């Protein structure tokens, strides 16, 4: 079974750093793009960026370029989303999702989501 399992919920203060993770299993992890999607409370889906674990080729959405870092460790089939200085506006649910082997593909399956809360 193809599965993405995300790390647990986080509560942080503004200015703190954070890294959340997404571990893939049941497929050839290196070969498939993985995306990170933000969903703020009661709002829609926003793609933050995608990464191909085989060579860490990463494409950021302009709104998130420079705000977060997406990385991968293919030795442990894990993709990361990292902030160096969190803001209250980063409070959201974050999903990872598997893309295709080719870049133009849908996302399936999705991880269970990681809730990030940033509050003083």
Partner 1 sequence: DIQMTQSPSSLSASAGDRVTITCRASQTISGYLNWYQQKPGKGPKLLIGAASSLQSGIPSRFSGSGSGTDYTLTISGLRPEDFATYYCQQSYNTPYTFGQGTKVE
Please give the structure tokens belonging to residue 9.
């919920």
How many Å separate Cα 108 from the centre of its chain? 14
Q: Which of 7, 46, 54, 71 binds partner 1 (CB under 8 A)?
A: 46
Sequence-distant (≥ 6) Cβ neighbours of residue 44 within 8 angstroms? none
Q: How far is the CB of 45 from partner 1 (least distance, A)?
A: 4
**Does the footprint of partner 1 cover residue 109 (CB under 8 A)?**
yes
Half-sphere exposure at residue 61, Cβ-oriented, CA atoms within 13 angstroms: 12
Q: How far is the CB of 112 from partner 1 (least distance, A)?
A: 6
The residues of the shown chain that bind partner 1, judged by CB under 8 A, are 35, 37, 44-47, 49-50, 59-62, 95, 97, 99, 103-113
């Amino acid at each position: 079974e193809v599965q993405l399992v995300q790390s647990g919920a986080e509560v942080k203060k503004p200015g703190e750093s954070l890294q959340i993770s997404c571990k893939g299993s049941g497929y050839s992890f290196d070969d498939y793009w993985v995306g990170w999607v933000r969903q703020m409370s009661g709002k829609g889906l926003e793609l933050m960026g995608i990464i191909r674990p085989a060579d860490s080729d990463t494409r950021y959405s302009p709104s998130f370029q420079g705000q977060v870092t997406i990385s991968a460790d293919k030795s442990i089939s894990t993709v990361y989303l990292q902030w160096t200085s969190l803001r209250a506006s980063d409070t959201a649910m974050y999903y990872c999702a598997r893309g295709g082997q080719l870049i133009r593909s849908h996302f399936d399956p999705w991880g269970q989501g990681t809730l990030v809360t940033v509050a003083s």
